Structure 1
Amino acid sequence: MNKAVAGLVAHVGEPPDIETSSDGYASRFRGKVGEYLLGVQERGLFSLLEQPPVPPASTVLDVGGGHAQLAPPLACAGYRVTVAGSDASCGMRLARHDGAPAIDFVACDLLQMPFADRKFDVVTSVRLMAHIDDWPRLVAELCRVADKTVIIDFPVYSSVNALSLLTFPLKKRIEKNTRTYRSFFGGEVRKAFASHGFRQTREWRQFVLPMALHRALPKAALTQQAEGLMRKAGLTGLVGNPVLARFDRED
């Protein structure tokens, strides 16, 4: 079992997307800093969709997407979006989201979803895999229902992880309800997808500095400018976390 940032990932009965679909979780992304963090994630998502191109009107399943971080922008871009959540409550934020076209919501077991094989052109999932104990089973299910492409995020081990370890107590003080999470070696994730016929084709690394620092420091513009300089210098592409990765079916 991979180690989490603070010990091992806790074994809990409640599916992790119930927490990430809550108003309390959404409060972590309020204000200018939250807009910036989500903006980087959204830019990475659409960058991965551009090459090889996934045209608008393609069907997208966002697994664990009740947080409404991906589904509304995808729907606004013309994709036909369905969100799978572990409980009916996971669809509440989507129902209240203004300005986005209709998004279908299905409450189900995310490790055994009620969809046919290869039902959706693209399957996405963020803020989920790092909190799932049986993550290989999640990967298997994402691959099963994806016809062409899976895009997920996950934190990876790197030398910069030391910053995350050091700032985790600060993260807990700022966010109050933050959770431990699992980090991965890129190779083990690629191997899991390869066992289901998918190959990693692209990735987008998000931040060099831990997100807790972005939230904690008084001059947010300075950390954001630093991130921009590090991305231009190529440092983000080497050690950035978390990783958004695209996997394409090989057949």
Structure 2
Amino acid sequence: MTGLLPPPDLETGSVQYARRFAGPSGAYLLDIQERGLRDLVDDGPPLHQSALDVGGGHGQLVGGLLDMGIQTTVLGSTADCAEQLLQGADAGRVDYVTGDLLALPFPDGRFDLVTSIRLLAHIDDPDRLIDELCRVARYSVIVDYPTLMGANALSAATFPIKRLIEKDTRTYRSFWPARIEQAFRRNGFAPRRRFKQFSAPMGLHRLAGKPVRMVEEGLRRIGVTSLIGNPVLQRFDRERKA
């Protein structure tokens, strides 16, 4: 899957990674993410009763999915990837399974909904990951990814500043939305809806706190975030045959 490199979800499931979302700014970032997830799941039929969260040992989606009444399974690369999940409030409410992120150990169409966040931008083979997410999804897939738009268009140039602010941030790849949509269409999934999360970089939120949050909500209300926001949460639905 990733050769000699550690699996990308090992870091997102760690105590150190969870600390990036500590405090009011971190809580705000997670709240917007959950708001987006709920908007996308609630956006009409089909009804999702079961979900698989791929690479979700960080536990960031689990509470929202469970609160929506969706039976949830989390898949991680190793048992160590569930360090945060198994210590959290939802530990006894989910099934945790280990397996290859690029060869999911489930039959075709096993779950109504498949989700994956904090993963697509860090995986060696994003096309194969998308293939697998689609294969095990009966109805819908929701992923997040940074786009080459808005402030993120300068991500390569500003990465040293981002690392200075966030200390332990990782390198990542960004995508044109058309590139992601093409990969899903190849698997018979059509784009349903996007939720763009932030106009201001997340590192700026962590650095400046409440003043940036106030500006962010203002930009959201007047529609700027829906145009240039990053990262993108996007839902894809399996196309029905005529």
| Whole-angstrom CA distance in 2 between matches of 1:213 and 1:239 | 16
CA RMSD between the two structures: 1.7
| Whole-angstrom CA distance in 2 between matches of 1:177 and 1:159 | 23
Tell me the percent identity. 49
Match 1:65 to one of 47, 56, 63: 56
Q: TM-score, normalised by structure 2?
A: 0.93
User: How many matched pairs?
Assistant: 239
| Whole-angstrom CA distance in 2 between matches of 1:54 and 1:38 | 26
Extract unaligned runs of 5+ from structure 1.
1-9
In the alignment, which residue of structure 1 is the partner of 2:170? Answer: 179
In the alignment, which residue of structure 2 is the partner of 1:239? Answer: 228
Alignment of 1:202-221 (within 5 A): 202-217=193-208, 220-221=209-210
Extract unaligned runs of 5+ from structure 2.
none
Q: 1:65 is paired with a residue of what secondary structure?
A: coil
| Whole-angstrom CA distance in 1 between matches of 2:122 and 2:3 | 9
Dislocated runs of 4+, deviation >6 Å: none
In the alignment, which residue of structure 1 is the partner of 2:121? Answer: 130
Paired residue type of 1:142:
L
Larger mean CA deviation between 35-44 and 156-165 belongs to 156-165
Deviation at 1:233, TM superposition (A): 1.1
Alignment of 1:148-227 (within 5 A): 148-162=139-153, 164-165=155-156, 167-217=158-208, 220-227=209-216
Paired residue type of 1:88:
A
In the alignment, which residue of structure 2 is the partner of 1:7? Answer: none
Paired residue type of 2:227:
L
In the alignment, which residue of structure 2 is the partner of 1:5? Answer: none
Match 1:33 to one of 15, 22, 25: 25
Q: 1:160 is paired with a residue of what secondary structure?
A: helix
Please tell me whether the aligned partners of residues 38 and 64 of structure 2 are also in contact (alpha carbons under 8 angstroms): no
Asked if 1:97 is matched to 2:63, the reply is: no
From the superposition, tell whether residues 91 and 100 of structure 1 become closer, same or farther in structure 2 (CA, over 3 Å): closer
Q: TM-score, normalised by structure 1?
A: 0.90
From the superposition, tell whether residues 159 and 12 of structure 1 become closer, same or farther in structure 2 (CA, over 3 Å): farther
Larger mean CA deviation between 45-54 and 177-186 belongs to 45-54
